[in-house]
Amino acid sequence: MQCILNQVDPQFEPTQGFNYRLSILLCQDGFSFLVTHVVSQRVMKMLVCKLNSSIAHQNETGGWPASGNEYFEELKKVELTQMAFQRIDIAVASQKNTIAPHEFADQGNIQNIISAAHTVSPFEEILVEPVFDSGPVTAILIPRYIPEFCTAIFPGSFLRNAAAVFVKGILHRYSLLIERQVFINIYPGFFEITLIQGQRLLYLNTFKYSAPSDVLYYVIFVLEQLGFAPSEEKVTLMGDIEENSVIYTQLKMYCESLQFVGKPDDLKYGESFAGVALHRYFNLLNIPICE
């Protein structure tokens, strides 16, 4: 396991966990932790860990490791998992997701809807979370071992759908603009793309990629299929991407209005986080503020 980010606010006091909230983002190649003060919403600690490739080895269908034993053994080595917190939220990312109208999900059709987009393995279960009350519902497929391990390690915690957190975070920060906006959230091996216009969610989907050019292809494909010109759209990026990356350079060739997502205004950041590229941790930062 490799620690790629460990930033701590000087005011962080490990023995005061009852004043803190822990947010965890579980991804196929590692996990991220965010500690925030319950009252002030001050960011107290950020910790991001990547797994060794042997542990993060994916199953035949791609995605998560076939077994969660090694994954969660590594997670339990993180000191934060031994602390008590006022609340713990755990968001799970998945390259298998879909979206449906609220009324369809309310009628118990989620199994049929997600089966139309992805093959559902006997070892997977569906994690559902609405984007907003009586609004669209996101559904992702996750290994059955994830809820089991999370319940055992973090009793009383809340399991969240990272795709829903992504959309909620976007709407929370950007829905005051009337114009159409495109958002791309990059994970290693897959990315999410969503379009909003004001409070309306126009599109959400996930695509796997093996080369940077795949991202460009799918972005152009989606926008053109929806009848939009990539060069005319306002595109905002977040996740595993930097300005000097190949994905960014290629997107810039076709999308003239390209920018990185802004940090959530609801949280407070001390000087310890001044040099952190917070656009990389958009989902993690939005877990405690987008319920």
Per-residue pLDDT of the chain (291 residues; tens, 9 = 90+): 889 999 999 999 988 989 999 999 999 989 999 999 999 999 999 999 998 776 555 554 457 887 889 899 999 999 999 999 999 999 999 999 888 777 666 656 777 777 777 777 888 888 988 888 777 888 899 999 999 999 999 999 999 999 999 999 999 999 898 899 999 999 999 999 999 999 899 999 999 999 999 999 999 999 999 999 999 999 999 999 999 999 999 999 999 899 999 999 999 999 999 989 999 999 999 999 988
Find out whether 196 and 180 touch, Cβ atoms under 8 Å: yes
Q: Which CATH class is domain 2-168?
A: alpha beta
CATH of domain 174-260: 3.30.420.260
**How many H helices and E strands in the chain?**
8, 14
In this prediction, residue 54 carries a pLDDT of 61
Say what the pLDDT of residue 109 is: 76
How far is the CA of 169 from the CAs of 73, 105, 281, in angstroms? 30, 22, 12
Residue 13, Cβ density class (10 Å: 0-12 exposed, 13-18 middle, ≥19 buried): exposed
Chain-centroid distance of CA 10 in Å reads: 27
What pLDDT is attached to residue 60? 47
Is 270 within 8 Å of 9 (Cβ atoms)? yes
Domain boundaries in the chain? Answer: 2-168, 174-260
With 0-12 / 13-18 / 19 or more C-beta atoms within 10 angstroms meaning exposed / middle / buried, residue 198 is middle
- Matching CATH topology for 2-168 and 174-260? yes
Return the pLDDT at 235.
95
